[in-house]
Amino acid sequence: MSYSKELQREMEKEGIEIGDRIKVLDNGKEHTGILMPRTESDEDTLVLKLDGGYNIGLKHKNGMSFKKLEDVEVESKDLHVDVKKSGDKSVSILIAGGTIASRVDYRTGAVKPSVNEDEFVTFAPEIGGIAKIETRKILNTLSENIGPEDWKKIAEEVVEEIEKGKDGVVIAHGTDTMGYTSAALSFMLENLPIPVVLVGSQRSSDRGSSDAHQNLTCALKAATTDIAEVTVCMHGSRSDDFCYLHPGTKVRKMHTSRRDAFRTVNADPYAKIYWEDLKVERIRNDYRKKNTQRKVEAKSELEGHVEIIRIYPGMDPGIFEKKLQRSKGVVIEGTGMGHIPTDNKEIMEELKKYIEEGNIAFMASQCFNGRINMNVYETGIDLQKAGVIGNLSDMLPETAYVKLAWLLGNYDKEEAEDLMTENMRGEITERSVKSKF
């Protein structure tokens, strides 16, 4: 999308291009900021990213004047050298990619990861006031392409930062698979002494409604707290008011586009973090408290041959068989409290054979909310007789998948089987939460 011909002509007169820092004089009022590409606004409304970080739309009117300002090199590194100003905490930002580190490619119109360390902190200049910040790009990947090898890399980079004596680590990551990565890091980072906060944005920072600014600011704040868990920090409502700090093993992306897409499932978030005053309102107190004496260990091995089997009526039993053949462990994403079509003899025979051959099958639910209970119906009892393990309780299927791959990578089979049904990283909630789901 581009601006109207008239608006483009006026810009050309002044030698202004998208991305330039400009001054707009509008009816006596002066606005200074970066000229953004047109996104959702109408073609006569120019979008300006104000120096404070907000985007505004200015309707083009007669008498409006535009002036290109000198390029101001963003000196992001300066933002975090003033110790007095920034407090005594030091936080590392590791950039893995994703929308929060992306810009609109003006040629194709698509968003792609392209932001470097220095640009990154300019989304939220005030984070320099929260802590001493060091930013490092470790990957440049949209999260749909992040996988087990990247989880290992991220875990190892986090350990490196912890060993430098940091008070917290923020990881800028795409939202699509953020829940998988947060689960993986939860298991991999044993004895975590400090907060590790994943943050992303649903809309890139050059869009008017971007959530990058608020999310990054709140994530930085979260990284300075005593909540020494792997968490996800994202918009908590449809307004620009607060973020939720979600437990890394209980969080799921539940909306494709809304900024408050992330939900803690079967538990409560740890805290609310308000954007305006950076107040941290704790919701739970059962988190691991920060203790820099604790020695972290990156237990980052993963068994590659673990799969998820998604159950649906009319599924090809042959696929069931194929998926089992090639894996050492599976998480079945069953229906309801943990069911599959047991009337299908082909599926049941394959499943029995698979387990007899020494592989492991666990049951999770495609409902996501609620617990597995395979003692209520005939189907569940039959599946347990066949060797399917159903006491994962309220563990998310995605978390169960990551956990099983991690356990089989780091423990022998018997230990893995035992640990799978134990609560290791908050992935099982003992007492149900009464709140809405």
Nearest to 199 by CA among 111, 302, 294, 273: 273
* Shortest distance in whole angstroms from residue 6 CB to its own copies: 26
Cβ–Cβ under 8 Å, residues 398 and 358:
no
Among 53, 247, 338, 390, the residue binding its own copies under the rule CB under 8 A is 338
* By CB under 8 A, residue 369 contacts its own copies: yes
Residues of span 248-267 touching its own copies by CB under 8 A: 253-258, 261
Among 45, 153, 190, 368, the residue binding its own copies under the rule CB under 8 A is 368
Q: Which stretch binds its own copies (CB under 8 A): 124-132, 143-151, 157-165, 419-427?
A: 143-151
25/254 with CB nearer its own copies: 254
19/336 with CB nearer its own copies: 336
* By CB under 8 A, residue 367 contacts its own copies: yes
22/96 with CB nearer its own copies: 96
Residues of span 310-329 touching its own copies by CB under 8 A: 310-316, 318-319, 322-323, 326-327
116/291 with CB nearer its own copies: 116
Burial of 4 from C-beta contacts in 10 A (0-12 / 13-18 / 19+): middle
94/104 with CB nearer its own copies: 104
Residues of span 342-361 touching its own copies by CB under 8 A: 342-344
Among 11, 337, 392, 420, the residue binding its own copies under the rule CB under 8 A is 337
Q: Total number of residues binding its own copies (CB under 8 A)?
A: 79
Cβ–Cβ under 8 Å, residues 362 and 388:
yes
Enumerate residues 6+ apart whose C-beta is below 8 A from 331.
Answer: 306, 307, 308, 309, 362, 363, 364, 397, 400, 401, 404
94/127 with CB nearer its own copies: 94
Residues of span 168-227 touching its own copies by CB under 8 A: 175-177, 180-181
Residue that is written with structure tokens 């005939």 in the block: 378
* Shortest distance in whole angstroms from residue 302 CB to its own copies: 8
* By CB under 8 A, residue 401 contacts its own copies: yes
Sign of CA dihedral 197, 201, 205, 208: negative
Cβ–Cβ under 8 Å, residues 259 and 239:
no
* By CB under 8 A, residue 305 contacts its own copies: yes
Strand 271-274 versus strand 280-282 pairing type = antiparallel
* By CB under 8 A, residue 112 contacts its own copies: yes
Among 307, 354, 389, 407, the residue binding its own copies under the rule CB under 8 A is 307
Cβ–Cβ under 8 Å, residues 217 and 211:
no
Nearest to 175 by CA among 141, 209, 206, 151: 141
Catalytic residues: 99, 175-176, 253
Side-chain half-sphere exposure of 402, counting CA atoms within 13 A: 29
Nearest to 158 by CA among 304, 299, 262: 299
CA distance 161 to 167: 9
CA distance 370 to 327: 27
